[in-house]
């Protein structure tokens, strides 16, 4: 597709359940990011994949959060044993880092997660 | 001190006004500077992108980067009600994650 695609767009889950959020980046983009945005807050960095390098996981808030990127394309963010404070919009972005002039990140529409 | 500071506002202006949005940062290694616009319940969309210091103009929008002061600005001329949104500054070093400000909420009244 032309842009970054995220699914589902909305997810309501019960506290304690696991959830998986999916991101399809722009074709050819080597970098992929996950961010979290809580109500009235800025974007909180979670994890960053760049090509075949080890991902930067420094933003993951706890070991309940994990992410993988298969084949350098699609990424899945998994939250285990969800808590109410995990409720937020989870945003994915992809970026081409082939040339400096194209070093721009484009975002998907996000997955709105509500933990009840 | 947070890496990126941005006044959350809200900022309310009449239609046609010039709007100035700003961010300060502490990491002198940042090289890439971006402004994103985010409408309610939508993902951020890239508005302006600047590499290193200098100015960049695109229509009614001008982005300025002053690396010596660690200060970036976005100016909106002849503001329109459709400009009402949250504006997020973002910056990074080469090959690292984007670090965002908290965003400034702008309201332009007709």
Q: Categorize the per-residue pLDDT at A53 as very low, low, confident or very high, splitting at 50, 70 and 90.
A: confident
- Rounded CA gap, A25 and B48, in Å? 21
Residues from chain A that touch B42, judged by Cβ atoms under 8 A, are 109-110
**pLDDT tens digits for range A63-115:** 999 999 988 799 999 999 999 999 999 999 998 875 554 467 889 999 999 99
List, as ranges, residues 52-81 from B with C-beta within 8 Å of A: none
Residues from chain B that touch A50, judged by Cβ atoms under 8 A, are 95
Contact B33, B63 (CB under 8 A): yes
Say if strands A111-115 and B4-5 run parallel, antiparallel, or are unpaired: unpaired
Establish if B85 touches chain A: CB-CB under 8 angstroms.
no
Q: How far is CA A44 from CA A28, A50, B17, B80, in A?
A: 25, 18, 31, 29
- Rounded CA gap, A34 and B48, in Å? 21
For residue B30, cis peptide bond before it (omega within 30 degrees of 0) = no
Of A31, A50, A110, the CB nearest to B43: A110
**What pLDDT sits at residue A93?**
94
Q: What are phi and psi of A70, to 5 degrees?
A: -95, 130
């Amino acid at each position: 597709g032309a842009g970054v695609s995220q699914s589902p767009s909305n997810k309501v889950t019960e506290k304690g359940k696991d959830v998986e959020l999916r991101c399809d980046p722009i074709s050819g983009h080597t970098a992929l990011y996950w961010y979290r945005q809580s109500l009235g807050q800025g974007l909180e960095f979670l994890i960053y994949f760049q090509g075949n390098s080890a991902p930067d996981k420094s933003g993951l808030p706890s070991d309940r959060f994990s992410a993988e990127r298969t084949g350098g394309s699609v990424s899945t963010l998994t939250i285990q044993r969800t808590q109410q404070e995990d409720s937020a919009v989870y945003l994915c972005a992809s970026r081409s880092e082939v040339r400096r002039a194209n070093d721009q990140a484009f975002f998907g529409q996000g997955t709105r997660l509500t933990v009840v | 001190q947070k890496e990126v500071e941005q006044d959350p506002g809200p900022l309310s202006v009449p239609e046609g006004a010039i709007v100035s949005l700003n961010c300060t940062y502490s990491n002198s290694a940042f090289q890439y500077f971006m402004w994103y616009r985010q409408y309610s319940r939508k993902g951020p969309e890239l508005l302006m992108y600047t590499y290193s210091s200098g100015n960049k103009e695109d229509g009614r929008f001008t982005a300025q980067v002053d690396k010596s002061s660690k200060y970036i600005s976005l100016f909106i001329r002849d503001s329109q009600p459709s400009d009402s949104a949250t504006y997020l500054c973002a910056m990074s070093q080469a090959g690292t994650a984007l670090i965002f400000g908290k965003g400034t909420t702008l309201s332009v009244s007709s």
